[in-house]
Amino acid sequence: MLFKKTTLAAACLVGVASGATLDVTNKAALGDATHKAVSNLVSLYSAEKQAGKTTEGAFDQANVSWYVSGIIWGMVFDNSKYNGDRAQDNVAGSAMLEATFKETGDLLGGPQRTVQEKLRGKWNDDLGWWALSMMSAVEAYDKNVYIPGGAKFLDVAALTWNEILEQWDETTCNGGIYWSRNREDPSPNKRTFKSVITHSQFVELGARLSIATGNTTYLNWSDKVYNWMKTSGLVTADWAVLDGANAPTCTQVDRTEWSYNAGTLMGALAYMYKATKMATYMDDAKKLLPAAVGKFTQNGIIIEPVCTTTPAMCGRDTPASMPQFAKGLSQLYLEGDAAMKQQIQTVIDTTLTSAIRNCNNDWWCNKEWQQTAAPAQDVYNQYPTAELLVAASAIHGASAPAGTQNGLPSGPSSASNNNNSNNKNSGTSGALGGSPTGLTWAAGAAVAAGVTFFLV
């Protein structure tokens, strides 16, 4: 369940669509288009920040959900990783410093976690998006890169992995991670729901952490969680990726299929294969890919079928969904065989060709990928095609414009040295049986694969 809010924000139209054109095989042209689209998006945050409208490292939350901002910062670092375009990395890093409560280095704010969980509504899938974005920064630089003025990106991701794992519960549904962190929520669909997106994120996060650290504990848990997704029926034998199920039995299943669920699972399988080279993950991806493309494309263009069949289910945050499908496809492309690469490239290129009809020559775009619509200067219209351009860059390769290669500083700031004693052993805090120094930890519940630790 991605869409918790449905209030629609007004768009600032910038004229009729000019039908921007792009040769994706021209690396310089693709890099330039991606740079402009991403820069336009980040400029909206910078303007809001100057106006005092940003909080918690996010775009104005009156208009954009907190987790979507986390996704966007990950896209910025993916652009850095794939294209070498680091022009916006400092803005993204500064936002992540605020999101991790500066010297606290924790998306839940350390001692503020109860407030963040129960009052601020930071759920496990919200944390998962931000943690995956932390890993994009690690992959764009290295495992020792710091959030400017704060903790290491890797340490935040590892801590978040532990915090999400706290929510694994084998006393209901024989396992699974809760969607909400608040067990006192009056709504059972929130209090007891185990969403497929949380599990896909966790599988991917564990694989990426293992690649960065060499710690196989992450992989063991990713494999355990992935197998639970299949045995619980959330991933079916015919490769439908369902939305989730309610504890205590998980027989009450929400069978809605969203593009972002399938896309994120494709990315997770790609990273699991990259981390392990075990054929089983790629074999599953080969089965998931055609099933997902069959459901989430029309005339070769990525779509969100739910919004056609049941429009009332789609709201403000819906534009963040299809880009996750495109991102997952591009992640799978990097690990897939020749046939998979061809199928994925065809989908991305066909979708991009349609989408950029709604971009002007300055690379302001509209969220519509199938219909023709005027470009608009707001987050939910700009983000989808920016993410699609980054996905195309991963597939085709792109070169950043001159002067965009300077990004995050190479080492910690003085604030990092003074305030982040919990980040001395990058990646070790994610392993069960290890805990970061400088924080108060208490032993939590034992589970089948070992003992995890709970912040207090």
> Tell me: the pLDDT tens digits for 373-422?
999 999 999 999 999 999 999 999 999 999 999 999 877 764 444 444 33
Alpha-carbon distance of 44 to 63, in angstroms, equals 12
Q: Tell me what pLDDT residue 270 has.
A: 98
What letter represents residue 52's amino acid? G
Give me the CATH code for the 29-455 domain, please.
1.50.10.20
Query: How many CA within 13 A on the CB side of residue 291?
Result: 20
Domain residue extents for the chain: 29-455
Kindly provide the b/e burial profile for residues 101-124, where b requires at least 16 CB atoms within 10 angstroms of the residue's own CB. Answer: bbbbbbbbbbeebeebbeebbbbb
Alpha-carbon distance of 159 to 106, in angstroms, equals 7
**CA angle (286, 127, 419) in 5-degree steps:** 130
Q: Tell me what pLDDT residue 18 has.
A: 54
Alpha-carbon distance of 227 to 174, in angstroms, equals 12
Q: Which residues touch 334 (CB under 8 Å, ≥6 apart)?
A: 270, 274, 394
Q: Tell me what pLDDT residue 119 has.
A: 85
The residue assigned the tokens 């890099």 is: 31
Sign (positive/negative) of CA torsion 185, 120, 79, 393? positive
What letter represents residue 90's amino acid? N
**Residue 129 token pair:** 């998006």
- Under-50 pLDDT residues of the chain: 1, 3-17, 414-456
Alpha-carbon distance of 284 to 337, in angstroms, equals 13
The per-residue pLDDT for range 279-334, each reduced to its tens digit, is 999 999 999 999 999 999 999 999 999 999 999 999 999 999 999 999 999 999 99
Alpha-carbon distance of 140 to 76, in angstroms, equals 10
**Residue 45 token pair:** 């945050």
Of 54, 354, 62, the C-alpha closest to 73 is 54
Whether the model clears a pTM of 0.85, i.e. scores above it, the answer is yes
The per-residue pLDDT for range 105-127, each reduced to its tens digit, is 999 999 999 999 888 889 999 99
Q: Which residues touch 414 (CB under 8 Å, ≥6 apart)?
A: none
